[in-house]
Amino acid sequence: MSILDSKIPEGPLAEKWNKHKAAIKVVSPANKRKLEIIVVGTGLGGASAAASLAELGYKVKAFCYQDSPRRAHSIAAQGGINAAKNYQNDNDSVFRLFYDTIKGGDYRAREANVYRLAEVSPNIIDQCVAQGVPFGREYGGLLDNRSFGGVLVSRTFYARGQTGQQLLIGAYQALNRQIAKGNVEMYSRHEMLDVVKIDGKARGIIARDLVTGEIKRYGAHAVVVATGGYGNVFFLSTNAMGSNGSAAWQCYKKGAFMSNPCFVQIHPTCIPVHGDQQSKLTLMSESLRNDGRVWVPKKKEDAVKLQKGELHPNDIADEDRDFYLERRYPSYGNLVPRDVASRAAKERCDAGFGVNSEGKAVFLDFKYAIERLGKSVIEARYGNLFQMYEKITDVDPYKAPMMIYPAIHYSMGGTWVDYNLMTSVPGLYSIGEANFSDHGANRLGASALMQGLADGYFILPYTIGDYLADEIMTPKVDVSAPEFAEAEKEVTARIEKLYNIKGTKSVDYFHKKLGHVMWDYVGMSRNAEGLKKAIEMIKEIREEFWKDVRIPGELDNLNPELEKAGRVADFFDIGELMARDALDRNESCGGHFREESATEEGEAKRNDEKFTYVSCWEYKGEGAEPALHKEDLVFENVKLTQRSYK
Amino acid sequence: MADKILKELKIKVWRQKNAKSKGKFETYIINDISTGSSFLEMMDILNNDLIEKGIDPIAFDHDCREGICGTCSLYINGRPHGPDTEVTTCQLHMRKFKDGETIIIEPWRARAFPVIKDLVVDRTAFDKILQAGGFVSVNTGGVPDANAIPVSRDDAEEAMDAAACIGCGACVAACKNSSAMLFVSAKVSHLANLPQGKVEAKSRALNMVSKMDELGFGGCTNTRACEVECPKSISIMNIARLNREYLKSRLSR
């Protein structure tokens, strides 16, 4: 176990972070000016980190593949951000937020990290308000809160249905201010393709200018990766089209361990797939489940008629509707956590009760809420979501039930980091969704934004100093070093190899094929046989890809197909590692459901005796089996219990 | 409500190799598009066809495909973001088009938004305008409690209306003068409506407007085309507010 030092401070849980801050080193202002930091990705984590580090005096270079840092996919988060402010006087506290997050994550996250997250959460709200984030307010002028799934208090701050957008704009504005001051050099439309190590330490990156195709070297004293999740391995997901796992994967190949890659969150309320022309899934906010009732027909013949378009849902009588969440989980009903709701929908559809032409959708019906509360109340609560639904599906959800189906949404797994957010490569950090640290096997709603900003504003700016304090004598990194030349050569060779395959099929062809395998065997429900099959199938598709992919266009010009090809090439490897990890974890926890580990009623069954650990995969070379290390999780402050929503 | 199939569409699209070369229209035929597909899914299918034929696919900007990141653009049949209202191109669906129709697709056209390739334009001018003052000058940490300064709900709502801007550039593309006034005014209003933003309101308006002029955007002549085409319904009342803020800061200099 010596290979994994999580550096969790000694002492009582509530004192760990303060004691740690007092113990770690600080860099003087004069020395900060001489130290350079590269931040890759400009979502909530990356933008807040880049801005905060630059404010401290470090010289920052920030990179994003988008045309502007403001486009990062944090922008699409709808519902809100949690913080233990206790503004509602409902007995919320740092401990309660910590406890909810640990429990929601099904006891597969580190106590110390999660407690710190809860501890800094109030500062995030203060910071965002000071930046001008227009949070929802009460008539008295104070901040309003919302409730979210899986908790008993009201602690979610929001800006209409666009909380992610507003928080990202806040961080982007702080970043812009530092760009204007010359403290941050911003590289938009640049994609990181490798991390460069010198004497074992991260010293820079290789990036491709997506407009000119130039491969360039960038040096720094530390590298921060904030590149989000790898949900697009499934082809269809709620992630942005460009979201990818490549930066994290290059870190993995350079020695950073990948943890819990099989933990991905499947969101139950997405607009269903409409056919094989689909490129992307749209999320409908979880908040809809507060007032909508989920159902499918009781009789199979009704389901068949719905699938053929011969029956309108409104013509099915109440007694012929199966409100399966209310039936199976009487105490939580339609508000069971995301993973439970998703599996229940799949179960009904697999049994033949799906309601769209593909048989892969269930109803979310507002008829009952409209009868109870009136249309105007529902319109005030969900008007913008209803409008979006109608634009996409051409169905008016005030008059007919919505159709929903689960979709891949968030990656709880990611790069392994210690308490300082440093990976197993010295000087290489990972923050936000890109790391594994805070959400265990399942993330609670409104906690992704909290984690991204906690890492970027309040944790990394402290902990990175502890490392950089020992680097003050290191001169400006020389990018003509042989390590940079070698990395650049490898990157160029890989691009040329891809480009010169000149096969017959597009990148999307292979990506879709991979997505099907992932969804069928490494999706909502997994078993050993299927996972082994997936590993073999992925290998076959990868082989075909490297023989037959066609990348048109030029190398020295904007070339979206080339960009996609590089990302998809990495998705094969990520998908394979996910399947391996899922195979190793023969228990059901959070978003990870192994059919072999279920109760008699088909509910998830955790196995704490064998699996209370974080899996940490170490790269062992191309084609070689990765090595599995385990970081045991120690719970001193909470008691492990089986989740039950019956 | 049920999806239909559009058997044939003519896609007349702007092709331009790079910023330096001259562009021109090319016409492609595309078959069997579901009316339930989004406009960009239609573009994906067209591109796949082109790849199979050995033709360089059409470059266009897009990312979240949920109408919020502001990456997608496209001037479709003479309108930014196409024929639907209050949607971005990624949320435009093919049911808005008829079988056999010719669809004309162009990039945003404005001096400040040079074409990079095909339908992709460079909008970094927007970033530069915001870097000139579109922020509140506070560092991380050392800020008061979030509830220390009450903000009236009306002010917060008005700020939010303006802050909903996604920075897509449709306002500039719609404007015959290629003015960025709606974009600039949205940021100025967002921050001027909040006590936290008021402190720097004067210099902000001045600096952002002069940066906008410097970058080659045109002046506003109140045609309201921007408001009509804005996918987020940003109101031109914000421009009135910007003019007020601008005047105040000029007069107090």
CATH classification (class only), B123-251: mainly alpha
Note the pLDDT of residue A516.
96
Helix (H) or strand (E) holding A566: helix A560-584
% of chain A residues with pLDDT over 90: 89
Q: What is the mean pLDDT of residues A332-341?
A: 87
The whole-angstrom distance between B228's CA and the closest CA on chain A is 18
Contact A279 B65 (CB under 8 A): yes
How far does the CA of residue A608 sit from the closest CA of chain B (Å)?
Answer: 38
Give the integer Cα–Cα distance in Å for A284 and A271. Answer: 7
Task: State yes or no: pLDDT of A561 exceeds 70.
Answer: yes
Q: What chain A residue is nearest to B194 in terms of C-alpha separation?
A: A132
Question: Which residues of chain A does B18 touch, with a Cβ-Cβ cutoff of 8 Å?
Answer: 557-558
Q: How far is Cα B223 from Cα B221, in angstroms, rounded to an integer?
A: 6
* Domains of chain A as residue ranges with CATH: 267-408 (3.90.700.10), 482-611 (1.20.58.100)
Fold category of B5-106 in CATH: Ubiquitin-like (UB roll) (3.10.20)
List the single residue in B with minimal CA-CA distance to A159. B160
Instruction: Give the angle A153-A158-A160 at the CA atoms, nearest 5°.
Output: 130
The mean pLDDT of chain B is: 96
| Chain A residue with the nearest C-alpha to that of B59 | A560
Are the beta carbons of A76 and B134 separated by less than 8 Å? no
User: Does A165 sit within 8 Å of B91, measured CB to CB?
Assistant: no
Chain B's closest residue to A75, CA to CA, is B69
- What burial letters (b/e) apply to A385-410, b meaning 16+ CB within 10 Å? bbebbebbbeeebeebbbbbbbbbbb
- Cα separation, A342 vs A347, in Å, equals 9
pLDDT of residue A2: 54
- % pLDDT > 70, chain B: 100
Residue A381 has a pLDDT of 79
Chain B hits for A70, Cβ within 8 Å: 69-70, 127, 167
Is the CB of B152 less than 8 angstroms away from the CB of A142? no
Name the catalytic one among A71, A217, A321, A338.
A338
Give the model's pLDDT for residue A150: 67
Q: Do A557 and B117 touch (CB under 8 A)?
A: yes
> Which ipTM score applies to this complex?
0.98
Residue listed under structure tokens 């909530």: A44
Task: For residue A176, give how far its alpha carbon lies from the nearest alpha carbon of chain B (Å).
Answer: 5
pTM of the model as a whole: 0.97
Contact A274 B33 (CB under 8 A): no
Could you state, in order of their start, the residue ranges of all structural domains in chain B? Answer: 5-106, 123-251
For testing the chain B interface, which of A391, A458, A464, A557 should be mutated: the one with the most B CBs within 10 Å? A391
The answer to whether the Cβ–Cβ distance between A240 and B146 falls below 8 Å is no
CB contact under 8 A, A141 and B153: yes
Task: Give contacts of B2 with chain A, Cβ < 8 Å.
Answer: 309
A301 contact partners, CB below 8 Å, separation of at least 6:
none
Which residues of chain B lie closer than 8 angstroms to A176, CB-CB? 127, 130-131, 134-135
- DSSP lists the bridge partners of residue A205 as A195, A218
pLDDT of A286: 82
Q: What is the per-residue pLDDT across A586-610, written as a single tens digit (0 to 9) for each?
A: 999 999 999 999 999 888 999 999 9
What are the two backbone dihedrals, phi and then psi, of residue A563, each rounded to the nearest 5 degrees? Answer: -60, -50
Chain A neighbors of B196, CB-CB under 8 A: 129-132
Chain B residues close to A75, C-beta within 8 Å: 64, 68-69
CA distance A180 to chain B (A): 5
* Nearest chain B Cα distance for residue A456, angstroms: 10
Same fold, B5-106 and B123-251: no
Q: Which chain A residues are within 8 Å of B65, Cβ to Cβ?
A: 240-241, 279-280, 282
The DSSP-derived string for chain B is ----EEEEEEEEEEE-SSSSSPPEEEEEEEEEEETTSBHHHHHHHHHHHHHHTTPPPPP-----SSS-S-----EETTEET-SSSS--GGG-BGGGS-TT-EEEEE----TTS-EEETTEE--HHHHHHHHTT-S----SS-PPPTTSS---HHHHHHHHHHHT-----HHHHH-TT-B-HHHHHHHHHHHHTSHHHHTTHHHHHHHHHHHHHHTT-B------HHHHH-TT---THHHHHHHHHHHHHHHT-
Chain B residue closest to A161 (CA)? B164
Task: Tell me the per-residue pLDDT of A392-415, one tens digit each, with 9 for 90 and over.
Answer: 999 999 999 999 999 999 999 999
pLDDT band at A175 (very low <50, low <70, confident <90, very high): very high
> Is the pLDDT confidence value at A238 over 80?
yes
Q: Write out chain B residues lying below 8 Å of A394, CB-based.
A: 1, 36, 93, 95
- Residues in chain A within 8 Å Cβ distance of B87: 391
Q: Give yes or no: A338 in active site.
A: yes
| Minimum CA–CA partner of A77 in chain B | B68
Where would I find the beta strands (DSSP E) of A497-579? none
Q: Do A274 and B3 touch (CB under 8 A)?
A: yes
Residue A642: what pLDDT? 84
Query: Nearest CB to B143: which of A126, A169, A557?
Result: A126
Instruction: Evaluate if residue A324 carries a pLDDT over 50.
Output: yes
The answer to whether A189 and A62 are in contact (CB under 8 A) is no
Helices (H), A257-395: 300-308, 324-328, 338-348, 367-373, 375-393
B40 interaction partners in chain A (CB closer than 8 Å): 279
**pLDDT tens, position by position, A176-210:** 999 999 999 999 999 999 999 999 999 999 999 99
CB-closest option in A51, A130, A394 to B95: A394
Instruction: Answer for the pair A374, A381: CB distance below 8 angstroms, yes or no.
Output: no
Q: Per the CB < 8 Å rule, is A55 touching B120?
A: no
Interchain CB contacts (distance < 8 Å): A and B: 225
- Put the strands of the sheet holding A190-198 in their side by side order: A190-198, A201-209, A215-219
pLDDT attached to residue A276? 81
pLDDT score recorded for residue A145: 92
> Which of B32, B68, B84, B214 is the best mutation test for A, with the most CBs of A within 10 A?
B68
Q: Return the structure tokens found at A377.
A: 């109340």
Q: Which of B56, B93, B145 sits opposite A392 (nearest CB)?
A: B93
The Cα A69–Cα A190 span in angstroms is 11
Q: How, if at all, do strands A222-225 and A428-430 pair?
A: parallel
Nearest by CB to residue B1, choosing from A72, A395, A561, is: A395
Contact A177 B137 (CB under 8 A): yes
As a whole number, mean pLDDT of residues A283-301 equals: 91
pLDDT of residue A615: 98
CB contact under 8 A, A166 and B147: no
Whole-angstrom distance, CA of residue A630 vs CA of residue A626: 13
Q: Tens of pLDDT along B188-222?
A: 999 999 999 999 999 999 999 999 999 999 999 99
Residue of B63, B168, B184, B208 to mutate, testing the A interface (most A Cβ within 10 Å of its Cβ): B63
Are B37 and A87 a contacting pair at CB < 8 A?
no
CB contact under 8 A, A176 and B41: no
pLDDT at B1 over 70: no
Is the CB of B140 less than 8 angstroms away from the CB of A127? yes
Could you report the per-residue pLDDT of A438-475, keeping only the tens digit for each? 999 999 889 999 999 999 999 999 999 999 999 999 99
For residues B17-41, average pLDDT: 96
Q: Which residue of A has its CA nearest to B147?
A: A142
Which pair of tokens denotes residue A151? 């908790």
pLDDT of residue A1: 43
Q: Verify whether the Cβ–Cβ distance B68 to A165 is below 8 Å.
A: yes
Q: Residue B105's pLDDT band (boundaries 50, 70, 90)?
A: very high
pLDDT tens profile B118-145: 999 999 999 999 999 999 999 999 999 9
